[in-house]
Structure formats: structure tokens, C-alpha cells
Amino acid sequence: MRAPLTVKGAQRLRTELEELKSVKRPAVIAAIAEARAHGDLKENAEYHAARDQQSFIEGRIKQLEAELSNAQVIDIATLDVGKKVVFGATVDLADTDTDEEKTYQIVGDLEADIKHGLVAISSPVARALIGKHEGDVIVIDAPAGQREYEIVGVRYEA
């Protein structure tokens, strides 16, 4: 199965890939060349650090290329599902006990970032939300126990 990605998420990954290829890869190659010029490579910490960095960069490039080639990019602006929660939805939740509000967007696993409110489609939060509608109450298993939230808004933003 192809991993879903939003258009915005795919663009973020392409931007990271381009930076790795055009900026970071040439910089680490130059750092390796400079460290080599310092002589004995066995005890040259700069050389070994640069080689480790190069290995990381090349691994990340391969990972991003594979993920992007296997991803299914979904343009959420074209979805017409009304107020039903599906992939790509931005959902406003209100804690039924505290009235504290949270906003999450359901995205692909590759682009999830909880600090920015992007939850993976495979996460417990997303699984609790998928298929529900505005006005529904859901229960999410949190580390501190079960929390009950009301879905107060569902929208699809590009």
C-alpha cells in the first residue's frame, strides 16, 4: 500500500531532499577534502565526523527518494466529504471536562509532527477521529488515562 501524503507534506519532503542534495552534500564533501588535507586519517576526528555526517546525509537522501516515489499524494482541497473526518482533515476538539481546545490535522506518517498539530493517520488520535462528524464525542486513550473530546469543527485546508 502506498503511504498517503498531503500536497504540503510532499512539498516539505521535496524541499528537504533538494537542500540535502544541493547544499549539505557538497558541504560535507568539502569538509572531508579539507580534513584529508590535514594528514593522518586514523587519528583525524574532523575526517571521521565528516564521514559520519556524509553517511547520514546519503541515508536520508535515499530514504526521502524512496518515500516520495512510493507515496500517494492526496490534494485535500479537492476532497468533498462535508464535515466527515477523513485523511487531511483539520479537526478542532474541545475537552469535555476542561473545555480546553486542540486542533489537529490528520496527515501521512511521513509528515506527522505533533508539535505543529500534525498527527499521523496511524496514530490513536487519528484512528479515533476517522469517520466521525462535527458534533460527535470521541474517547482518546492518553498516557494520563482516557480523555473525552467533542469535535467542534472539521475543515479541509490546502
Encode the chain in three state secondary structure.
Answer: CCEEEEHHHHHHHHHHHHHHHHHHHHHHHHHHHHHHHCCCCCCCHHHHHHHHHHHHHHHHHHHHHHHHHHEEEECHHHCCCCCECCCCCEEEEEECCCCCEEEEEEECHHHCEHHHCEEECCCHHHHHHCCCECCCEEEEEECCEEEEEEEEEEECCC
Topology of the domain comprising 76-155: Chitinase A; domain 3 (3.10.50)
Q: What angle do CA 24, 28, 31 make, to 5 degrees?
A: 140
Give me the residue spans of the domains in the chain. 3-74, 76-155
The band of 81, judged by pLDDT with boundaries at 50, 70 and 90, is confident
Q: Which CATH number fits domain 3-74: 1.10.287.180, 3.40.50.10420, 2.40.10.220, 1.20.1250.20?
A: 1.10.287.180
Q: Which pLDDT score, from 0 to 100, does residue 24 have? A: 96
pLDDT beyond 70 at 148: yes
Q: How far apart are CA 61 and CA 16, in angstroms?
A: 9
Q: Which pLDDT score, from 0 to 100, does residue 66 have? A: 93
For the four alpha carbons of 96, 122, 5 and 72, in that order, the dihedral sign comes to: negative
pLDDT beyond 70 at 158: no
Q: Which pLDDT score, from 0 to 100, does residue 87 have? A: 92
pLDDT beyond 80 at 125: yes
